[in-house]
Structure 1
């Protein structure tokens, strides 16, 4: 069981190193995280971007550029294309977003010629560690899919399960989170939740244990589950929280970050290679943790 991000870093060190292709790398937090990942033996990197700017920023944060390959590309869109191409051609294992809009790099990820599509849905997994829960857990999808239908939720769930396996969680417990834990014809999310649970029971969804609908309290609190007389192997022990729509995921993500002061990291999955797609405002620490997630996902 991974109880903290220190455990996650240790696992990434054991399974790494992998190679990053960093698109538009001239960013302090990005270069600081890449430098730390190199120091820890987790990842190497090819830095793609404006070489002069990369050199300036590297000097400011104390990163030795002689340890990395630098590809000089001052055009941001072309830098994204080059980074994605390095991964699709097998020269790197993971794409990492630097100081660039998500839409710009995702356009290259989805490109038919050099992109990383697999035919699966592309989704986001966020990993959290909070003081009130005994282990790290995954929230999906809080960033990519706005209002997924039942089949899309199934694929998002399967992406998260595959990712959980890369964290050595062999049988992840998936809570399909809704506003209540009983099926209501007035709440489509609860109907979807029950159907996903049934798919798991009949073997259509494999490699995990799914329960739904569950409200957030009984998904993560054994006491709440007992109080509401919920008998489920997932209740109070969820490894994955599957949210019904992006609004719920976004609110949960930011509540865990700002109210609970949880540590977090994120990754795009469902592609041929993992994509470290952090916010430009994320800390160096969060970016380092996200690199570790990419290394683990690339090692599966």
Structure 2
């Protein structure tokens, strides 16, 4: 599934959903969907043709929730396990055994699910670190904007940042963005020894020159304004192929990435979806506060990756 046209401005997440619907539903292990949000999100995605859910969790609790919420789960496979920890382990087993193509977080903690994913012997980790990427449709930005890592790596060092950015680049490739532009964020645009984020930014750019990061154009350090505004870059006399046209914003740490994303969502009316990358299967990680669009779009993004298996290596 290769995207042959650009997503329409302001309907970008809907575009990814529609493109994914044109393909087949992906087999998805839904982990511990015992409450309304977790179970309903999976069923809605199945009804749209995005996923083929395998419900993994305590059968009695799942059926009680389905009855209470008037959700028909009779047509879906249900694997009965005792508790959330066992559900996470079983779901990962299904991926490892090629019985599921992606994971979807239900009603359990993110850390509990990811601990099963990265288990040394039973997990589905790759050589790269796991990372999270927000995909935002920002009303006054001209294309989808990815922000990483806002949910998994708290204070990433240089090598972890390399993995985070490579995960995001591969993800963009799955969406049909052949050479994404990556802005490596800091508070200033110049390298300053007193600001480690600027040193990392410069090192990441040189790593790209040496082939340690591939498939994208990187520039940094860049402040947020001249990363997303070409006029801001011109005003500051910055010549950059990324300024004003970034696809990916690589933040210095989890806190700054999370704040940027949440500010765009709540103050700039950005639509959002999210996905965890770097494992042998994409992981649909939705917040309890996410609405229907965010959940469907996250499933669609996972579908794009599943159907481009080369991006999961």
User: TM-score, normalised to structure 2's length?
Assistant: 0.91
Which runs of 5 or more structure 2 residues have no equivalent in the other structure? Answer: 1-5, 309-313
How far did residue 57 of structure 1 move? Answer: 2.4
Q: After superposition, give the CA deviation of every residue in 1:70-99 in whole Å (9 maximum; x if it has no partner).
A: 112232211111111111111000111111
Work out whether 1:187 is the aligned partner of 2:195.
yes
Match of 2:176 in 1: 168
Where does 1:153-164 land on structure 2 (aligned, <5 Å)?
153-164=161-172
Q: Which moved more, 1:74-83 or 1:210-219?
A: 74-83
Match of 1:152 in 2: 160
Asked if 1 retains the 8 angstrom alpha-carbon contact of 2:138 and 2:145, the reply is no
Asked if 2 retains the 8 angstrom alpha-carbon contact of 1:27 and 1:57, the reply is yes
Asked if 1 retains the 8 angstrom alpha-carbon contact of 2:172 and 2:178, the reply is yes
Match of 1:50 in 2: 58
Work out whether 1:78 is the aligned partner of 2:81.
no
What RMSD in Å do the two structures reach over aligned CA positions?
A: 1.6
Among 251, 261, 267, the alignment partner of 1:259 is 267
Match of 1:223 in 2: 231
Where does 1:82-231 land on structure 2 (aligned, <5 Å)?
82-231=90-239
How far did residue 299 of structure 1 move? Answer: 1.6
2:146 counterpart SS class: strand
Q: After superposition, give the CA deviation of every residue in 1:161-187 in whole Å (9 maximum; x if it has no partner).
A: 011111111100000011011111211
Q: After superposition, give the CA deviation of every residue in 1:102-133 in whole Å (9 maximum; x if it has no partner).
A: 22212211223321111211111111111111
How far did residue 15 of structure 1 move? Answer: 4.0
Match of 1:275 in 2: 283
Q: Which moved more, 1:117-126 or 1:29-38?
A: 29-38
Asked if 1 retains the 8 angstrom alpha-carbon contact of 2:181 and 2:216, the reply is yes
Asked if 2 retains the 8 angstrom alpha-carbon contact of 1:29 and 1:287, the reply is no
1:70 counterpart SS class: strand
Which runs of 5 or more structure 1 residues have no equivalent in the other structure? Answer: none
Q: After superposition, give the CA deviation of every residue in 1:202-261 in whole Å (9 maximum; x if it has no partner).
A: 433211100111111111112212212221111000000000111211211221122122
How far did residue 134 of structure 1 move? Answer: 1.3
- After TM superposition, which residue ranges in structure 1, 4 or more long, deviate above 4 angstroms? none
Cα separation, 2, equivalents of 1:151 and 1:101: 26
Match of 1:19 in 2: 27
User: TM-score, normalised to structure 1's length?
Assistant: 0.95
Between the two proteins, the alignment pairs up a number of residues equal to 300
